[in-house]
A and B are shown apart, each in its own frame.
Chain A
Amino acid sequence: MSKVYIALQDNDESRYIVEAIEEDNPDVTVIHMPAMIRIENEGRLSIRRETVEEKMGRDWDVQELHINLITLGGNVEEDDDELSLHWNE
């Protein structure tokens, strides 16, 4: 299985997003690098609106992710409730 990954700018908003990702994807690896946070997982990873909203305590649109996004790897699926990454193998 290949790894999918996402990298976010290291800022306050991203910290909540990372928390949400860790909660929804318990097996992820979170790597802190200068000014960025890289999160990787085997095969699949999702960022769920509901969980992020819970962490932030406000409404959050999945497309807001793009403001803090640095890069990603994997096929992207995006709808109103989540953005997920996966590899087809």
Chain B
Amino acid sequence: MAAKKLNIKDKYRLLTRDLDWEYSYSDRKEAFPYEDFEGIKITDWSKWEDPFRLTMDTYWKYQAEKEKKLYAIFDAFAQNNAHMNVSDPRYVNALKIFLTGVSPLEYQAYQGFAHTGRQFGGVGARVACQMQAIDELRHVQTQIHAMSHFNKFFDGFQEYSHMHDRVWYLSVPKSFFNDARAAGPFEFMIAIGFSFEYVLTNLLFVPFMSGAAHNGDMATVTFGFSAQSDEARHMTLGLEVIKFLLEQHEDNVPIVQKWIDKWFWRGSRLLTIVSMMMDYMLPNKVMSWKEAWEVYFEEAGGALFKDLARYGIKMPKYADVIEKEKEHISHQAWWTFYTHGHAAGFHTWIPTDEELDWLSEKYPETFDKYYRPRWELAKEMEAKGERFYTKALPQLCTTCQIPMLFTEMDDPTQTAYRDSVYNGERYHFCSDGCKDIFDDEPEKFVQSWLPVHQIFQGNCGGPDVGDVLSDFYHMNLGADNMDMKGSPDDLRWKQWKGVA
């Protein structure tokens, strides 16, 4: 008798979905204890549609093929000293932000998906999360390996792990993922699986990586796109999760909407740093932050929310504010880092005249009016030998932990401040979005480990800021921080290129 041919769907179901069973001897609730407390109602896990149907043997096979290609390129990159091929040494500073700020998030994503991959009661959902967990571990490790060569030739990479746990601006990405992991398993999936993976990571991994290619960085574009090839699977998981929750019970709709509102806001705040990498740190330009935002958030996200409208899901709250912000945030962020360049673990600089013109062209509504004059002034000061650094430590938003650098979107000359009082204490926020998030879960956000508060409380050494930077952050002062001009990175580059 010839065996009947199985299609991929039936085969996957038989191989995987039937592995679990109804417990008779122990309490199944105790084995999967975290499914109820968020108020999400799951009536039937068997309705889960597998977002992709990769069995482990196929997974090993394809992933090994990807890894083989990737490491061949890393080896060639190192052997040929291909860091010499990047367009401009300023570019490397974007990679420092990547390794200190983003790669540790991949690690937290691994941990978060390992948790949901153990805790969900449905085997189909668990297995999909587990595959994402191991993919995320792949991403952090390939990123470390890609940066390993840059670390040998440039400053600012060497303490990425130590810095991620401590440095003021790195608490922005760290707290974002801590927030998601500290939440219940379903909120984690909406936060990371859906909001972050489906819409927001594209903005980092697609246009920025294309930018890496355009700036001669073969190692980064290769790990970036190789990671994205897993991301496509993660995106389908993110979409499946939200559809599944919305279809399981109508009571889930308002809970999911609240999470979408929270996580799109938090995500757009987090991406401020990517906006600055795109607009200011890629010497060869691919597209502006605003253009990337329009393609990957407004167009792709818009299509997604139209698709979800049939469940009663609406565009995230404050989408109108977010739309206005695309004109401003990259400029406000780079200016903040420029003026705090002594306290950053990477170099900052004034854009060249050519770059200023490009920004004027890409941001005709805002750049000349609000931001170019600052740079013209900075140029004058620098020419007089008075490169500007601010003395003050910034006040941080209790929710997103970004310094209060954002303005009112209807009046870009006015810095936005909001506050709330909880248990007799006053807490400060950068926006209505961040204030709402706090007001909804104050007992969670009062715990925030705000780096500037911690410095003032004496928990980060001292007494001077310089002591904090060198002893507590492990920054190599005079090498890792300050302006690009005259930095050891800059001098070495000129020496290598024979233009010193």
Give A residues with C-beta under 8 Å from B: 2-5, 7, 9, 33-36, 63-64, 66-76, 78-80, 87-89
Closest to A89 in B: B306
List of B residues within 8 angstroms of A35 by Cβ: 209-210, 213, 221, 225
Of A9, A68, A87, which one neighbours B307 at CB under 8 angstroms?
A87
What distance in Å separates the Cβ of A55 from its nearest Cβ neighbour in chain B?
A: 20
Q: CA A71 – CA B229 in complex, angstroms?
A: 7
Does B286 lie within 8 Å of A66, measured CB to CB? no
B52 proximity list for chain A (CB < 8 A)? 76, 78
B310 within 8 A of A: yes
Residues B307 and A71 in contact, CB atoms below 8 Å apart: no
State the Cβ distance, A2 to closest chain B Cβ, in Å.
3
Query: Which of B65, B302, B303 has the largest count of A CB atoms less than 10 A from its CB?
Result: B303
Known: A72-B232, A73-B235. 15 other contacts (CB 8 A): A7-B228, A9-B229, A34-B210, A34-B214, A35-B225, A36-B213, A66-B232, A67-B65, A68-B229, A73-B300, A73-B304, A75-B239, A76-B51, A78-B8, A88-B307
Q: B65 — which chain A residues lie within 8 A by C-beta?
A: 67
Tell which of B52, B232, B233, B239 has the most Cβ of chain A within 10 Å.
B232
A88 to B210, alpha carbons, bound, how many Å? 30
- By a CB distance below 8 angstroms, the chain B residues around A69 are 228-229, 232
Given contacts A34-B286, A36-B210, A88-B307, A70 and B53 within 8 Å (CB-CB): no
**CB contact list, B198-249 vs A, under 8 A:** 202, 205-206, 209-211, 213-214, 221, 225, 228-233, 235-236, 239
A60 vs B209: C-alpha distance when bound (angstroms): 28
The number of chain B residues touching the other chain, given as a range, is 35 or more
The answer to whether B307 touches A75, judged by C-beta atoms less than 8 angstroms apart, is: yes
Give B243 Cβ to nearest chain A Cβ, in Å: 8
Using Cβ atoms and an 8 Å threshold, which residues of chain B touch A2? Answer: 299, 302-303, 306-307
User: Would B303 and A66 count as touching, CB distance under 8 A?
Assistant: no
**Which B residues are CB-close (under 8 A) to A88?**
307, 310
Q: Could you say which residues of chain B place their CB within 8 Å of the CB of A7? A: 206, 228
For residue B343, give the distance in angstroms from its CB to the closest CB of chain A.
Answer: 33
Q: How many angstroms between the C-alpha atoms of A69 and B236 in the bound complex?
A: 13
Instruction: Give B352-400 interface residues, CB cut-off 8 Å to A.
Output: none
Determine if A71 and B205 form an interchain contact, defined as CB atoms under 8 angstroms apart: yes
Q: Mark B51-68, 1 if CB is under 8 A from A, else 0.
A: 111100010001001100
Most chain B CB atoms below 10 A, which of A64, A68, A71, A72? A71
The answer to whether A71 touches B232 (Cβ under 8 A) is yes
A7 CA / B295 CA spacing, docked (Å): 13
- B447 contacts the other chain (CB 8 A): no
Whether B9 is near chain A, meaning CB under 8 Å from some CB there, is yes
Contact B7 A80 (CB under 8 A): yes
Instruction: Please provide the 5 A-B residue pairs with the shortest distance between their CB atoms, ordered closest to farther.
Output: A2-B303, A35-B213, A34-B213, A34-B214, A70-B228
Residues of A within 8 A of B310 (CB): 88
| In the complex, residue of chain A having the shortest beta-carbon distance to the beta carbon of B286 | A34
Enumerate 28 A-B pairs (CB-CB under 8 Å) in ascending A order.
A2-B299, A2-B302, A2-B306, A2-B307, A3-B299, A4-B303, A7-B206, A33-B286, A34-B213, A35-B210, A36-B213, A66-B62, A66-B230, A67-B66, A69-B228, A69-B229, A69-B232, A70-B206, A70-B225, A70-B232, A71-B202, A72-B236, A73-B304, A75-B239, A78-B8, A80-B8, A87-B303, A87-B306
Q: Is the CB of A78 within 8 A of B228?
A: no
Chain A residue, CB-CB nearest to B213: A35
Residue of A nearest to B226 (CB): A9
C-alpha gap A70/B231 in the complex (Å): 7
Bound Cα distance from A71 to B310, whole angstroms: 24
Cα distance, A5 to B299, chains bound together (Å):
11
Most chain A CB inside 10 Å of its own CB: which residue of B51, B213, B300? B300
Whether the pair B8, A66 counts as a contact (CB closer than 8 A) is: no
